[in-house]
Amino acid sequence: MAKIMVENLSKIFGNNPDKAFALLEEGYTKDEVMEKTGQAVGVYNASFTVDKGEIFVIMGLSGSGKSTVIRCLNRLIDPTRGKIVIGDQEVSAMDADELREFRRHKQSMVFQRFALFPHRTVVENAAFGLEIQGSSKEEREKKAQDALELVGLKGWGSRYPDQLSGGMQQRVGLARCLAVDPEILFMDEAFSALDPLIRREMQDELLALQEKVGKTIVFITHDLDEALKLGDRVAIMKDGVIVQLDTPENILTRPANDYVAKFVEDVDLSKVLTAEGVMQSPRVVAYPKDGPRVALRKMKEAGISGIFVINRQGQLMGYVNAVDAKNAAEKEEPDISNIIEKDIPTVIPDTTINELFETAANASTPYAVIDEDKILKGIIVRGSLLAGLVKEASKDE
Amino acid sequence: MSDIFMNPIEYLPRLPLGEWVDSFIDWLLFHIGTVTRFISNFLEGIMGGITDALMWFPPFILILLISLIAWRFSNRGVAIFTFLGLTLIYNMQLWLPALSTITMILIAVTISICIGLPVGIISTRSPIFHRIVWPILDFMQTMPAFVYLIPAVFFFRLGVVSAMIATVVFSTPPVIRLTGLGIRQVSEEVVEASQAFGSTDWQLLTKVQLPLAMPTIMAGVNQCIMLALSMVVIAAMIGAGGLGGHVYGAIQRLNIGLGFESGLAVVILAIILDRITQSSKEREEE
């Protein structure tokens, strides 16, 4: 279900937007419009939806309009044209009072340079949103403390922001947002001011936190790795226009144009491609009640040295290799249930290839990709791991 | 005839700026007489009340009290200086004029802050207002201070009240300016954050902008006090009395000794007031 719906959002900075629109419709670029009319195009005709509970990433370099988009969503910047619907409310049509109520209860925002209040303690910072809402002192104190605990800052409440490191300051920024328990989080380059190690740590924590709180998140970044890591879907912007909106994997493997392709060519695929992306479908499987000869014949036909065994529900039971099956056949065993290896490596579909590599070396069987119900979704042979990477990499050339 | 080409400016009619101002003042005087009389009585009443209250204290006790205040707001050094300085003023038999000078400054500065703070705040809310007020401030500050004395006397007759009015006019601009500056200096992102949480303009002002602007505003108040002090001395020319009166008298009689003593008393007051307000500004910054 779409939580946020944006239709043809445009923002022109300047006193004569109509002139700019006329040129844009004729296909002029942002720079040309600036030169001809003096109007700065912030965003032009951006349309997208964000689902409930999704992390939606908008990626672009500086000047691409990504910060303008996110500020239009809570109307820190008023859009020139376009419609923004969040939940069942049309944000783009709200008057000042409705907008204030919306900002207080439905959303909150994390800023690039933290934007903490230097004259307030950490806990007073975290309680700011609640204070603005007018909730009682005990209530906001309690909720602020809870939020600080959630971001791992328990016990730091009485410090001042400038006594904290950058990473911790941004945790306060995050706690300040979570304290009001909004449905939507807007994160404007939230981790960009942090150094790389801390940034990665914060990204992991955001993902872990998201598992717990399940907010709808719109995340702005100029870092493609970050976008691909965090985003369920990623919109890539250039010169105020969304040039591609897709899943991280599709952006990598099917860039919409040269601009995106150039962006993604430096990405370390092994960090982004997942098991799901390189697995093969399990065409040939055995069942526990199959006789050893049946299993052997299936292997022979498929040209493989072992076979995965599943039950009638499709759940993975284990793995049978050819040697065991041959021995069992010679002993005239009725079925293969006694020779199933149960202790085999399994991964979930979201596992990155990078993580796969770490254990691939000492595994003797292929990987079984299973979901949370243990249903066998696919298999990964070590050879196809490398092949997958090479294939994706060579596609760009 | 050739002269008109050599020096054409002399043949232009003189612009009667002075006469215009005169007639404008006359017109004002005629129309707002009741208002000025009311203000006059009001300020004189307050002035008398405060001076009486201060004089009720035995001087020594009052000196101790002020030193304690200096200690509370600043540090021990300033407190000791305050004690010694005020004792010296008392010793020079300038205690009563010093009290009336302090009273005038207190009232004038209070009025300046009451006017300056809101005007400064409004100037950050309305660009048009800002564009109107700022040139007026430039004008007020570059005008020689003596000039304010003349209309003040016209409206409020010779005496303490017109001196105080002139002082207010002279010392308000820094409060307005630094209030505006302090609020505008608050980082854009912090203001945005406050708005993003749905704060009203009043909440933004009181919970974010004013607290963060406070050090700058205090610098404005400090400047305001210093300007008020200098003006109160100048205003002796229109009968403000106090320490300025003694300085003025000394000039007229060419009494170097008395002039030095009262001048020294003004300097002592200036240092005490400056240190006390300065340090409360620094504490805001911590």
Between the alpha carbon of residue A126 and those of residues A101, A156, A217, B206, B225, the distances in Å are 19, 11, 19, 18, 38
Q: What is the mean pLDDT of chain A?
A: 87
Nearest chain A Cα to B213, which residue? A119
- Strand order, beta sheet including A2-13: A40-51, A2-13, A81-86, A89-90
Please give the helix or strand (H or E) that residue A229 lies within, else none. Answer: helix A224-230
Contact B187 A109 (CB under 8 A): no
Decide if pLDDT at A283 tops 80. no
ipTM over 0.85: no
End-to-end CA distance of chain B: 73
Q: Does some domain include residue A139?
A: no
Residues A248 and A292 in one domain: no
Say what the pLDDT of residue A164 is.
Answer: 92
Residues A62 and A101 in one domain: yes
Decide if pLDDT at A77 tops 80. yes
Query: Residue A60 forms beta bridges with which residues?
Result: A237
Task: Work out whether strand A306-310 and strand A346-347 pair parallel, antiparallel, or are unpaired.
Answer: unpaired
* pLDDT tens-digit readout, B242-265: 888 888 888 888 888 888 999 999
- Chain B hits for A103, CB-CB cut-off 8 Å, are 195-198
Residues A260 and A290 in one domain: no
Residues A297 and A317 in one domain: yes
Top residue of A67, A75, A97, A100 to mutate, by most chain B CBs within 10 Å, is A100
Distance CA B209, CA A101 (A): 21
Average pLDDT by stretches of 10, chain B with 286 residues: 68 82 80 80 87 87 91 88 93 90 91 95 94 90 82 79 87 94 94 94 95 93 91 84 86 88 91 83 53
Decide if pLDDT at A397 tops 50. no
Say what the pLDDT of residue B64 is.
Answer: 92
Q: Is the dihedral of CA B85, B89, B95, B101 positive or negative?
A: negative
Say what the pLDDT of residue A389 is.
Answer: 65
Domain locations in chain B? Answer: 17-285
Top residue of A119, A131, A181 to mutate, by most chain B CBs within 10 Å, is A119
Residues A318 and A263 in one domain: no
Residues A70 and A193 in one domain: yes
Whichever domain contains A98, its CATH number is: 3.40.50.300
* Type of residue at A85: V
**Residue at token pair 């009025």:** B111
Say what the pLDDT of residue A390 is.
Answer: 62
For residues A158-180, average pLDDT: 92
The answer to whether the beta carbons of residues A160 and A146 sit under 8 Å apart is no
Q: Among A211, A237, A267, give the residue marking a domain's end.
A: A267
Phi, psi of A49 (to 5 degrees): -125, 150
Q: Which of A90-104, A205-219, A292-306, A375-389 has the lowest mean pLDDT?
A: A375-389
Residues A101 and A210 in one domain: yes
Q: Could you tell me the residue range of the domain that residue A228 belongs to? A: 2-106+182-267
Say what the pLDDT of residue A392 is.
Answer: 57
Contact B199 A101 (CB under 8 A): no
Decide if pLDDT at A396 tops 70. no
DSSP line for B203-272: HIIIIIIHHHHHHHHHHHHHHHHHHHHHHHHHGGGGT--HHHHHHHHHHHHT-HHHHHHHHHHHHHHHHH
Residues A244 and A361 in one domain: no
Say what the pLDDT of residue A289 is.
Answer: 86
Residues A245 and A306 in one domain: no
Q: Does some domain include residue A152?
A: no
CATH superfamily placement of domain B17-285: MetI-like (1.10.3720.10)
Say what the pLDDT of residue A106 is.
Answer: 92
Distance CA B117, CA B203 (A): 17
Decide if pLDDT at A272 tops 80. no
How many structural domains comprise chain A?
2
Say what the pLDDT of residue A70 is.
Answer: 94
Please give the helix or strand (H or E) that residue A41 lies within, else none. Answer: strand A40-51
- Chain B hits for A115, CB-CB cut-off 8 Å, are 187, 189-190, 192-193
Residues A260 and A282 in one domain: no
DSSP line for A114-173: ----TTS-HHHHHTHHHHHHT--HHHHHHHHHHHHHHTT-TT-TTS-GGGS-HHHHHHHH
Say what the pLDDT of residue B264 is.
Answer: 92
Q: Does some domain include residue A346?
A: yes
Is A310 strand, coil or helix?
A: strand
Contact B197 A115 (CB under 8 A): no
Contact B198 A111 (CB under 8 A): no
Residues A285 and A229 in one domain: no
Q: Does some domain include residue A353?
A: yes
- Chain B hits for A99, CB-CB cut-off 8 Å, are 198
Q: Among A228, A246, A267, give the residue marking a domain's end.
A: A267
Q: Does some domain include residue A295?
A: yes
Q: Does some domain include residue A132?
A: no
Nearest chain B Cα to A182, which residue? B197
Which tokens go with A149? 């605990």
pLDDT band, residue A174 (cuts 50/70/90)? very high
Residues 6+ apart with CB under 8 A from B17: none
* Type of residue at A230: L
| Nearest CB to A74; choose among B189, B196, B212 | B196
For residues A32-43, average pLDDT: 90
